[in-house]
Amino acid sequence: MTDPLVRAIAVTKSFGHNKVLNGVDFEVRPGEVSCIIGPSGSGKSTFLRCINALETVDGGGLEVAGAQVGYTLEGESYRPWRDRDFAKFRAGIGMVFQRFNLYAHLDAAENVATSLINVARMDKAAARRRAMEELDRVGLADHATKRPHQLSGGQQQRVAIARALAMDPTLMLFDEPTSALDPELVEEVLESMKALALGGMTMVVVTHEIGFAREVGDTLSFFDAGTIIESGPPASVLSDASSPRTRAFLDKVL
Amino acid sequence: MTASHRRTAPILGADGSETPITPRWHLGRWIVGTLAVLVVVWLATAIIFNENIRWNRVFDYLFSPRILDGVVVTIWMSVLATVIGLSLGVVLAVMKLAKNPVLQWIAAGYIWFFRGTPVLVQLIFWYNLAFLFPYLTLQVPFTQIGVQWDTNQVMTSFMAALLGLGLNLAAYFAETVRAGIQAVDRGQTEAALAGGMTHMQTMRIIVLPQALRIIIPPTGNEFISMLKTTSLVVVVAGSDLMTNASQIYKQNNLIIELLIVASLWYMLLTAVATYFQSKLERRFGSDAVRLVRGPGFVQKFLRNGQQAQTATESIATNSEKATTR
Ligand SMILES: Nc1ncnc2c1ncn2[C@@H]1O[C@H](COP(=O)(O)OP(=O)(O)O)[C@@H](O)[C@H]1O
Ligand SMILES: [Mg+2]
């Protein structure tokens, strides 16, 4: 069996006295799609943000591609990363946010190209071509010169996906990518994500779209109060969840 | 201003009849208006026909070389001091929002000091810097290599004015910049960090360009205010408009006449600056503006059109060779 791409070992995290992650154990193997569900405030976003080091972990261990996140082993001990170590690490991981978070002052193509130019150090002409290719992949080549406020929510989210994919990530993180969308726009975003999963991308997806989890997910984890209380193949978690809390939640969203 | 649009079309009845409207005279409004005009006319005549004001002398001095020289100095001083103030203000704001507590304290201390002391005091202080440091030295530590200036030669009244006014504006402007930076949605910062940018890059490429929308409109006001604040440099004989005017009236005692001359120029400068300010606000005030200079590169790319395409493609192919992903 291949080594996991992401491995969390008893991860804990507090904001002040609020213990948000309370011993999370979690694994994703390369090429897997791992879906996370759970009630609001249970720590799903925080956990996702720990994976790409937007948040730091307080306890336990968190490895991506076999290396500790945020620290480098030097002899007998770990040394914290510097700003540019974080930047370099994050450049290899794509993230898609619930509220799209497109750069409001840039058009769609510039949104996609910015990291290519400033992080991957591509020259502008190459970045421009790459941006157009990525927009084409999510069906938005015709909208390249539009600014975010001129696009629908679904289109903005597809630009955000294109922006993340342009950096050739080895891992994609999705934080409720369809929760802020009008119902009729959800499908177009899910389609882009399905295509990505079929292409073999490793994905961690926080979502309430149970249909997507069942169809595309390899594993489904249920978060509650900062821990994963249920995990396994989506079909079995959905049909015979053992914990009453999972059942109660599923009854509400199904 | 609800009454400014008055209906003139007749009112239509259900039977198709048209009944005209008889306008109403607003008596109170007329009385107040008339009184106000009377007061203004009275004040204006009191000044214009005042036999103690020699208007011919006002016009003599209005375009006299010394006054014109002063106007030029005032304009330069305002422009340079504003540029210093704005640039340093951005630096201070970024320092104040930095993670490093030392930078935060330094910025806070600077702002407290420069807002806490009168500009007048600062101007005089800079002008007399030579009392503290007779020589200004730039030296590579532990060596004899360096340059040295006589403070009194460097710290001309113009230099003192620039420092006094510029450093002071920076302290106020830092707060505006900070508000602008904080108004940019945090989600975009997160997206930029997630996309592999460092904190500095995120600030420079994503946050500051958007903060400009909030920062730029007040710069017009700061500049207009600066135009008149420069008159304080009278205390260090700054050879600006006000200094020159006051030196003239100290000799010939035409105090009011020269104050009128100076005021007319300040009003003209303010009017010109206000015109540019309104253009600036129209450009940056609305949400729809694009803050990047000129059209986006994709727009340029598309506009260059067919003829340019072969050239672009060859460039793109070359660059593709150069880039390994
Ligand atoms: N930056 C933060 N500062 C303080 N508290 C936070 C922060 N981010 C999240 N929290 C708290 O952590 C808890 C879990 O939040 P989150 O991870 O967003 O949950 P979920 O995504 O499952 O809804 C919530 O109680 C939230 O208020
Ligand atoms: Mg969340």
Protein residue closest via CA to atom 2 of ligand 1: A15
Is A150 within a domain?
no
Complex ipTM: 0.95
> A44-48, A139-143, B75-79, B148-152: which range is least confident on average?
B148-152
Which residue from A12, A18, A51 has its CB within 8 A of the most atoms of ligand 1, so it is best to mutate? A18
Threshold 0.80, pTM exceeds: no
Kindly report, residue by residue over B275-315, the tens digit of the pLDDT: 988 887 777 754 434 444 344 444 444 444 444 444 434 33
Element (H, E) at A61: strand A59-64
Is A199 within a domain?
yes
What is the distance between the alpha carbons of residues B108 and B91, in angstroms, rounded to a whole number? Answer: 12
Is A93 within a domain?
yes
Is A142 within a domain?
no
Is A163 within a domain?
no
pLDDT at B324 over 70: no
Task: Measure CB to CB from residue A119 to each of B197, B287, B298 and give the nearest one.
Answer: B197
Give the pLDDT confidence score for residue A1 in this predicted structure: 64
Looking at every residue in chain B, the average pLDDT score rounds to: 83
Q: What number is the average pLDDT over the span B224-229?
A: 92
> A124-128, A244-248, B225-229, B252-256: which range is least confident on average?
A244-248
Position of tokens 């700003």?
A: A83
Give the pLDDT confidence score for residue B159 in this predicted structure: 87
Higher pLDDT, A65 or B152: A65
> B68-82, B83-97, B239-253, B282-296: which range is least confident on average?
B282-296
Please work out whether the CB of residue A40 comes within 6 Å of at least one atom of ligand 1: yes
Expressed in angstroms and rounded, the spacing between residue A21 Cα and the centre of ligand 1 is 10
pLDDT at A38 over 80: yes
> A97-101, A187-191, B209-213: which range is least confident on average?
B209-213
Is A23 within a domain?
yes
Protein residue closest via CA to atom 21 of ligand 1: A45
Task: Measure CB to CB from residue A54 to each of B190, B298, B316 and give the nearest one.
Answer: B190
pLDDT tier at B4 (50, 70, 90 boundaries)?
low
pLDDT at B2 over 90: no
Dig out the tokens for A127 from the structure.
């970045």
Protein residue closest via CA to atom 18 of ligand 1: A45
What is the distance between the alpha carbons of residues A155 and B158, in angstroms, rounded to a whole number? Answer: 56
Amino acid at A51: I
Give the pLDDT confidence score for residue A114 in this predicted structure: 96
pLDDT at A129 over 50: yes
Domain that holds residue A59: 6-99+170-251
Kindly report, residue by residue over A156-179, the tens digit of the pLDDT: 999 999 999 999 999 999 999 999
Cα angle, residue B21 at apex, residues B18 and B26 outer, rounded to 5°: 170
Q: Which of residues 100-139 of A touch B (CB under 8 A)?
A: 100-107, 109-110, 113-115, 118-120, 122-126, 128-129, 131-132
Give the pLDDT confidence score for residue B296 in this predicted structure: 47
Query: Distance (Å) from the C-alpha of residue A105 to the closest C-alpha of chain B?
Result: 6
Kindly report, residue by residue over B112-169, the tens digit of the pLDDT: 999 999 999 999 988 888 777 778 777 777 777 777 788 777 778 888 889 899 999 9
The DSSP result for A184-235, as a single string, is: HHHHHHHHHHHHHHHTT--EEEE-S-HHHHHHH-SEEEEEETTEEEEEE-HH
Taking contacts as CB-CB distances below 8 angstroms, the residues of chain B near A97 are: 187, 190-191
CATH of the domain at A69: 3.40.50.300
pLDDT tier at A35 (50, 70, 90 boundaries)?
very high
Give the pLDDT confidence score for residue A91 in this predicted structure: 96
Give the pLDDT confidence score for residue B3 in this predicted structure: 52
Give the pLDDT confidence score for residue A226 in this predicted structure: 95
Task: Please provide the distance, in angstroms rounded to a whole number, between the alpha carbons at the two ends of chain A.
Answer: 33
Number of independent structural domains in chain A: 1
Is A176 within a domain?
yes
Give the pLDDT confidence score for residue B313 in this predicted structure: 41
User: Beta strand B146-150 with A93-96: parallel, antiparallel or unpaired?
Assistant: unpaired
Is A60 within a domain?
yes
pLDDT tier at B237 (50, 70, 90 boundaries)?
confident
Q: What number is the average pLDDT over the span A196-207?
A: 96
Q: Are B210 and A84 a contacting pair at CB < 8 A?
A: no
